[in-house]
Amino acid sequence: MTLDDFFEFVSKHYQDELPFVAYRKPNDTLLKAILQKDSQRYLTNNFTESGFVFAPFDSNQDAFLIPTSNAHEISVKIDENDISEVKFSSQRESENVVTPNETDKSAHIKQVEHGIDAIKTGVFSKVVLSRRESIALKATDPIEIFKRLLQRYPTAFVYCWFHPKVGLWLGATPETLISVRGNQLKTMSLAGTQAFEGMTDVIWKEKEKEEQQIVTDFIVESLLNAVDTNQKTSSNESSGHLKDLKVSGPNTVKAGNLLHLCTEISMRLKPETKTLKPILEALHPTPAVCGFPKEKAKAFIIENEGYPREFYSGFLGELNLNETISRNNNRRNVENNAYSIQKKVSNLYVNLRCMQLKDLNIFIYVGGGITKDSNAEAEWVETVHKSQVIKSVL
């Protein structure tokens, strides 16, 4: 299959109003699509199914699934030259990418100040507050936007997700929620933001360091508690997973025109782990997109942000897909290739740096973590930088 064939298949599926997802994982050369055969809405409740999951910020709402059992999968290998040579239509989706006005700025600053006041009164120690920008369109071609995202963000998880009964979303997220390969689980703590100005060797303020540590501590504690609940032995004693926990960082990482602090976390799951549901319930939403304590911050967000987040800051990705691994690196040795093994693989990402296409509008979602040391004006500037990441492809 050629790259043109791939985009033609995806475009036809979209024109036929059938659900699909097209995506490329970070730093990968494989472009994949899962094309659902009907327009039915499939849900996942226990996360034991196989397919592509698309879950909202509010875990009390439905998480949608494109099941591999009722879908056709296509893929194509790509490299930088392939993507750089992709031809775009001459018409731009938006003739004039607008900038936020003073009303938007004033509203967000007041919202942040409200959050800081709540922190100072002890409601929570951190809350993530966001806003939504709307851009009117001249034309709507999500595949064109998807191509530009692929070009611009090779280190991000880039996707285009569509369901005629749910909506259309695109994004280029830098943040992994969890990655599971066999019994090896990896995740990351990503927090703190500053503009990239040509170098990654930068100084971080105490506010960013504190925000990063809150997220890291929450993830580590949540993982241990979730695994402990999920993996109790018959004698009701802990199953001995503590020795496998590894935490490294934080390090500075680049995502588009922004820098973040990132800590990598990994641990092993016991063979008796049958579902990721307890782990996902414990982790999502993390303090990086919600706050801490989680439930109090989440309630504040839903009550005060003034718009529904829907799938912004939810999670999405591959769920329980089969991956065949050969124990023999010599592909010509057919006999030894018979000794291959299959592993279940899940790669789930936090839905950041994303947009929603609805009617003739694009909705862009951006936010930032608020702590007691936050400055409302600086938080506004941070959201402007983040919105430019997405606007650059329009």
Min mean pLDDT across 103-107, 191-195, 226-230 is at 226-230
pLDDT value at 241 more than 50: no
- Give the tokens for residue 179: 């990655």
Mean pLDDT of all residues in 14-35? 97
Sorted by where each begins, the domain ranges of the chain are 3-86+95-391
pLDDT band at residue 80 under the 50/70/90 scheme: low
pLDDT at residue number 212: 87
pLDDT value at 239 more than 50: no
Q: Calculate what percentage of the chain has a pLDDT beyond 70.
A: 86
pLDDT at residue number 108: 95
Give the pLDDT confidence of 362-391 residue by residue, as tens digits. 999 999 999 998 999 999 998 998 888 788
pLDDT at residue number 137: 79
Q: Is the separation of the CB atoms in 168 and 311 below 8 Å?
A: no
pLDDT value at 233 more than 60: no
Task: Write a three-state SS string for the chain.
Answer: CCHHHHHHHHHHHHHCCCCEEEEECCCCCEEEEEEECCCCCEECCCCCCCEEEEECCCCCCCCEEEEHHHEEEEEEECCHHHHHCCCCCCCCCCCCCCCCCHHHHHHHHHHHHHHHHHHHCCCCCEEEEEEEEEEECCCCCHHHHHHHHHHHCCCCEEEEEEECCCEEEEEEECCEEEEEECCEEEEEEEEEEEECCCCCCCCCCHHHHHHHHHHHHHHHHHHHHHHHHHCCCCCCCCCCCHHHCEEEEEEEEEECCEEEEEEEEEEECCCCCCCCHHHHHHHCCCCCCCEECHHHHHHHHHHHCCCCCCCCCCEEEEEEEEEEEECCCCCCCHHHHCCEEEEEEEEEEECCCEEEEECCEEEEEEEEEECCCCCHHHHHHHHHHHHHHHHCCC
- Across the chain, mean pLDDT equals 87
Give the pLDDT confidence of 312-356 residue by residue, as tens digits. 999 999 999 988 766 555 656 655 555 667 788 999 999 999 999
pLDDT at residue number 333: 62
pLDDT at residue number 249: 85
pLDDT at residue number 337: 55
Mean pLDDT of all residues in 186-199? 87
pLDDT at residue number 332: 60
| Residue, of 359 and 264, whose pLDDT is higher | 264
pLDDT band at residue 99 under the 50/70/90 scheme: low
Class of domain 3-86+95-391: alpha beta
pLDDT value at 173 more than 90: yes
Mean pLDDT of all residues in 254-280? 86
In whole angstroms, give the CA distance from residue 167 to residue 161: 8
- Give the tokens for residue 375: 């400055």
